[in-house]
Amino acid sequence: MKNKLRQFSRKWRPFWVILLGFVSLIWLLPLIYMINMSFRTQDNVFTPTLFVKDLTISNYTIVISQNPSLIMNFLSSLIISICSVILVTLFASMAVYGLSRNRVYGKKAIYNTLFSSLMVPISALVIPLTQINSILHWINDPRGLIFPYTALGIPFAMVILKGFMDQFPKELEEAAAIDGCGEVRMYLQIVMPILRPGIIVVIIWQFLTSWNEFFLALVTMSEKNTMTLPLIAQQYQGIYFSRPGATFATLTMITVPMIIFYIVIQKKFVKGMMSGAVKE
């Protein structure tokens, strides 16, 4: 039976490769079109073809020359994303470990409340979060995005890490406790290594989410030096869309680094997702 399945899979492998390649090309067409648009001149920017002959780097020159604070914007996005990743990873792993191993009253209610918050879109929270940031004087302050991103990222991180924590054998904890291992040491040296595949998934997901978020950043960061990168493209979208090349150049500068980042770590991301999904 196994031999027949192997022969069947080998026979149809070229078909699946071609099919998946075709589907991948369709999914990549918007990305290819965006990059191509970023190199077009003002004369052929609206030409209804995927590729054109006349290409230029002037759109990138315009973006860089007209945005002297671009490095600050990049650093702002990087700091906000990294800080939110660290806080989400720390708090979510601690919460999952505490709720899974300790007798907490109303544990299921806490889990259900946190998980139900995943259904709330960030657009519905923009106004109350902005009011809170205004009261705390966190407008144009990285904390105005770091803490909301952390609060919004913890429920998803707990969903991912809970699957790994449920597979964690309690016998290891009992053996460590007998050897005199305290709660903090057990969390750092035993629990965290076990949760590593899930933590990798959380880090990647939270970083990409924080990097690409737009709505809350739009109302929180209004000064040029504090803006995150997704906000830079907005200034080229006038009422007549006068500089589409510069807009697409900005979008390319924002998107391509994240694509490269995901390509580099995609194997770990998929491995972590599958490890948490399979329960032994």
112 and 176 inside one domain: yes
Summarised one tens digit per residue, pLDDT across range 115-156 is: 888 888 888 889 999 999 999 999 999 999 999 999 999 999
Which residue range(s) make up the domain with 31? 2-59
What would you measure as the largest C-alpha separation in the chain, in angstroms? 75
- Hey, which bits of the chain come out as E strands? none
pTM above 0.85, yes or no: no
74 and 47 inside one domain: no
Hey, what amino acid is at 170?
K
Q: Which of 59, 76, 93 is the last residue of a domain?
A: 59
Q: Which two tokens stand for residue 134?
A: 């205004």
Low pLDDT (below 50) residues in the chain: 239-240, 277-280
Q: Which of 40, 59, 78 is the last residue of a domain?
A: 59
204 and 158 inside one domain: yes
Contact 170, 241 (CB under 8 A): no
